[in-house]
Structure 1
Amino acid sequence: MTIDEILAEARARLDRVGPAGARALQETGALIVDIRPSADRAAEGEIPGSVPVERIRLEWRLDPAGTHRLPGVHADRPVVVVCNEGYASSLAAADLLRLGLRATDLDGGFRAWVAAGLPTRPGPTPAVP
């Protein structure tokens, strides 16, 4: 398979949301997880209320049955994964579906959030260890 095929397969499993949809989900209790590197978050900012989790730790920190999960993570809580432009987040969200989470990603990523005029905060917030 090519990466384009893998991405298409991942996205076929997701109900992706745009910036307004991600904001609405956040306002009703969804967890926004920012998987961008700290350098990107420092340069561009972050979504207020989001939790930065490095991609390498994502599954461990969001496994609803795991002993290393973040507080408040459970199978019924929606999760919206955010990257720069919405590519890596699609792959990550598809992995979270396999863990039993109600996961999706932000179509267009953080840059679409900014382009929509939604609020940001300076970054980086330290990633969850």
Structure 2
Amino acid sequence: MSTFTTISSDKLARLIGTANAPALIDVRTDEDFAADRRLIPGSIKLSHDKVQDWGGDFAGRRAIVSCLRGEKLAQGTAAWLRQLGAQAETLDGGFEGWKAAKLPLLDTRKLPPRDARGRTIWVTRARPKVDRIACPWLIRRFVDPDAVFLYVAPSEVVAVGERFGAAPFDIENVFWSHRGERCTFDVMIEEFGIATPALLHLATLVRGADTARPDLAPEAPGLLAASLGLSRMYDDDLEQLEAGMTLYDAFYRWCRDATAETHNWPTNKVKA
């Protein structure tokens, strides 16, 4: 049950993946993390005993802290964060409570190495359309909120990845790419272990738009049209990505919350 300084797993699950999701901080001990290296989607792993060093980064932000069971490590870290100006809460039941609720957990074994600032780095072809915007949205919302994306010439993706420690995606003959009829977005959801009904529904739309399969979902042509429109509006790929984040936020919320809702022009005229 949520209180002023705690939040329940079901309430947190409704926030994850949304544009205004809080920062999620996992402060399990190294021993506890080694026993299960998965994370609540969107979480970052930090050390509780160094909160005085990194806590100021969350000043003015909402943060949810979890440890193994939501006890001393999470409680103490959240209290320190509040001292440092953050609106901090703890996850009721911690990581074990989340797992007991059978909610998605991110498989960190599939993550590329992080840079010195703790970020994952990704590289793909320039001039993105569908998958190369959808995948960064998925990563930032559910995998690594601080992820960096490099858009380069198609011929240089692999070489840039090797020289700059970036994981190539959505090109041929790499791990993060199309597999059969599935697009890269599908593959990331599966490999990271973060499937939910809403994400799987969104994946169908992305697959239909990305692989010329408008028959997969009535909304797929609309997603393709919006994606192509964005690619014409922006010359800068990173500006296009920022605009695309809002686009996918909207499609995700529709998939999760609004598929049963319809809209028609209301007529309130009094019948004669």
Equivalent of residue 105 in structure 2, options 114, 117, 120: 120
Question: Is residue 42 from structure 1 mapped to residue 34 from structure 2 by the alignment?
Answer: yes
Deviation at 1:24, TM superposition (A): 2.7
Q: Distance in 1 between matches of 2:30 and 2:108?
A: 8
Contact preservation (8 Å) 1:18, 1:107: yes
The 3-state SS of whatever aligns with 1:118 is coil
Q: How does 1:1-129 map to 2 (within 5 A)?
A: 14-26=4-16, 27=18, 28-44=20-36, 45-63=38-56, 69=57, 73-75=58-60, 77-87=61-71, 88-123=73-108, 128=118
Q: Structure 1 unaligned segments of length 5 or more: list them.
A: 1-11, 64-68
TM-score, scaled to structure 2: 0.36
Which structure shows the higher helix fraction?
2
Contact preservation (8 Å) 1:32, 1:49: yes
The number of residue pairs the alignment matches comes to 107
| Residues 118-127 or 35-44, more deviating | 118-127
Deviations 1:82-125 (A, max 9, x none): 10001121121111111110100001000010111111123477
Decide which structure has the larger Cα Rg and report it. 2
The code of the aligned residue for 2:98 comes to W
The 3-state SS of whatever aligns with 1:79 is strand
Q: Distance in 1 between matches of 2:80 and 2:14?
A: 23
Contact preservation (8 Å) 1:34, 1:82: yes
Q: Structure 2 unaligned segments of length 5 or more: list them.
A: 119-272
TM-score, scaled to structure 1: 0.71
Distance 1:79 1:24, change over 3 A: same
The residue that corresponds to 2:127 in the other structure is: none
CA RMSD between the two structures: 2.4
Q: Distance in 2 between matches of 1:59 and 1:25?
A: 26
Superposition misfits of 4+ residues, deviation over 6 angstroms: 124-127
Q: Distance in 2 between matches of 1:38 and 1:48?
A: 19
Deviation at 1:74, TM superposition (A): 4.0
Identity fraction in percent: 28
The 3-state SS of whatever aligns with 1:114 is helix
| Residues 23-32 or 42-51, more deviating | 23-32
Q: Which has the higher contact order (CA 8 A, sep 6+)?
A: 1
Deviation at 1:59, TM superposition (A): 2.7
